[in-house]
Amino acid sequence: MTCVSPHIPDRRQPGAMKLQWFEPSDGARVRALAWTCDCLAMVYELCQAGGQGFIRRTLQNEDAPEIRETHRWPIAQARDIWAALLTGMAR
């Protein structure tokens, strides 16, 4: 099987930013801008809602997926944090 989407590194880098994860807030329409490979149990998505961005992670449980979201940031900052997540500099 060939993976097209990126994978999150197994380990955090030393000094990586620690993200806080919250219950998802519904409301505004959410658009996924980027996502990690779904061959792993935990899938991360860079999401946009209105002018803001955030990261959503979904643990693909058999019965019910467990969804968590970060704070919302200006979209440029959310993209930076997304890039950090993909390189193990944030988790």
CB neighbour class for 67 (10 Å; exposed up to 12, middle 13-18, buried from 19): middle
- 39 binding Zn ion? (CB under 5 A): yes
Q: Which residue has the tokens 């980027």?
A: 34
| C-beta of residue 1 within 8 angstroms of C-beta of residue 39 | yes
- 3 binding Zn ion? (CB under 5 A): yes
Taking the complex as a whole, the smallest distance from the CB of residue 40 to Zn ion amounts, in Å, to 6
- 41 binding Zn ion? (CB under 5 A): no
Interface residue with Zn ion among 37, 49, 84, 86 (CB under 5 A) is: 37
Taking the complex as a whole, the smallest distance from the CB of residue 77 to Zn ion amounts, in Å, to 27
Q: Which residues contact 7 (CB under 8 A, 6 or more apart)?
A: 36, 37, 39, 40
Nearest partner of 87 among 3, 9, 6, judged by Cα: 9
Taking the complex as a whole, the smallest distance from the CB of residue 7 to Zn ion amounts, in Å, to 6
Piece in contact with Zn ion (CB under 5 A), picked from 2-10, 11-19, 50-58, 80-88? 2-10
The site for Zn ion (CB under 5 A) is made up of 3, 37, 39
